[in-house]
Amino acid sequence: MLFRSAILVLASLLTLAAAAPTNTSHTQTAGCIINTNTFCPVFEDDFYTNNRTNSYVKNGALYIQPTLTADNIGADKTAKSFSLQFGKVEIRAQLPAGDWLWPALWMLPTDAQYGMWPASGEIDIIESRGNAPTTGPVKGSDSIGSTLHWGPSYDGGTSFADDFHIFGLEWTPDGIKTTVDGATVLNVPFDKSFWDRGAFPAGVNNPWAGTGSCAIAAPFDQAFHIVMNVAVGGTGGYFPDSTPGKRGKYVAAWYPSWKGDKTAMKIDYVKAWKMC
């Protein structure tokens, strides 16, 4: 069972609530080949597509919604015209509800000047799950995580799928801070290099050596762009029952939790301020 969703890569300064994004380009992409004998070793059980059942505007908000599919592979992106190096981002969004849903608001380096992931870094403003609010060891829609791969979890005591919330990022030459409704989730000062933070083993090359005056911030000293997506399941352990061999077995158990457009992540607006 495969799923279809949309991934939006913001690349221009725009307010998405006004109209459907018009500066998108569509490409057919897939992270790996999946057939009856082979599964992706990690990540999601989905393909990204340009189908407007997966990204559309309704009631003044952009909806990013997964659907079942058998033969659609694709991605929905904007042209790369906006990126940010130091500044502030604010996204007002309502997260989706439904088992196995994996919403994320995040940023990737536009030019990856230090090499392929993870050498050039990743900023996860928030990630969450669509599962019902936490009832056991697996956190649900009442919890979000924010990370530079060192981030804590934020437990809000309510479901982020019940209403809109404001997810923020403040990024300066001195550090990175993420917020939810004004409350700090992650605060990482640039007071030592990420090479030192990683405590990497001897013999590994430092991709950030000799990067100039901002070396202590590398790889978070380059322009990044914003990514908004809703993934489905996966085999990386984010959902305990989402592993090879179990996917079909569990569909009947979790798919009934998908209730119409509640499975969509709704984006009211995206704002960005560039540091002068």
**Cα dihedral sign for 219, 220, 224, 228?**
positive
**Closest to 5 measured CA to CA, from 228, 243, 260:** 228
Question: Each residue of 217-274: pLDDT tens digit?
Answer: 999 999 999 999 988 876 566 666 555 455 555 667 778 888 999 999 999 999 999 9
Query: Model pTM greater than 0.85?
Result: no
- 95 and 181 Cβ atoms separated by less than 8 Å: no
Q: What percent of the chain has pLDDT over 70?
A: 63
Question: Each residue of 34-45: pLDDT tens digit?
Answer: 333 333 333 444
**Closest to 188 measured CA to CA, from 177, 203, 200:** 177
Question: Each residue of 118-146: pLDDT tens digit?
Answer: 888 899 999 998 888 765 566 789 989 88
43 conformational bin, left if phi > 0, alpha if psi -120 to 50, beta if neither: left
- Give the residue numbers spanning the domain of 139: 2-274
Question: Each residue of 204-217: pLDDT tens digit?
Answer: 888 888 765 567 89
- Look at 72 and 82; give whichever has higher pLDDT: 82
3 state DSSP class of 252: helix
**Closest to 11 measured CA to CA, from 62, 94, 81, 105:** 81
Domain count, the chain: 1
- Look at 25 and 175; give whichever has higher pLDDT: 175
**Cα dihedral sign for 83, 231, 194, 90?**
positive
| C-alpha torsion 46→54→164→184, nearest 10 | 40
CATH for 158:
2.60.120.200
Q: How far apart are CA 276 and CA 267, in angstroms?
A: 27
Question: Each residue of 6-19: pLDDT tens digit?
Answer: 444 443 222 223 23
Q: Please give the pLDDT value at position 5.
A: 46
Which amino acids are annotated catalytic? Answer: 122, 127
4 pLDDT higher than 70 = no
Q: Please give the pLDDT value at position 154.
A: 61
Say which residue the tokens 């500044």 belong to: 87
Q: How far apart are CA 233 and CA 67, in angstroms?
A: 13
63 pLDDT higher than 60 = yes
Q: How far apart are CA 114 and CA 156, in angstroms?
A: 35
**Closest to 47 measured CA to CA, from 99, 5, 100, 78:** 5
Query: What's the whole-number average pLDDT of the chain?
Result: 73
3 state DSSP class of 11: coil
Preceding omega of 96 cis (within 30 degrees of 0): no
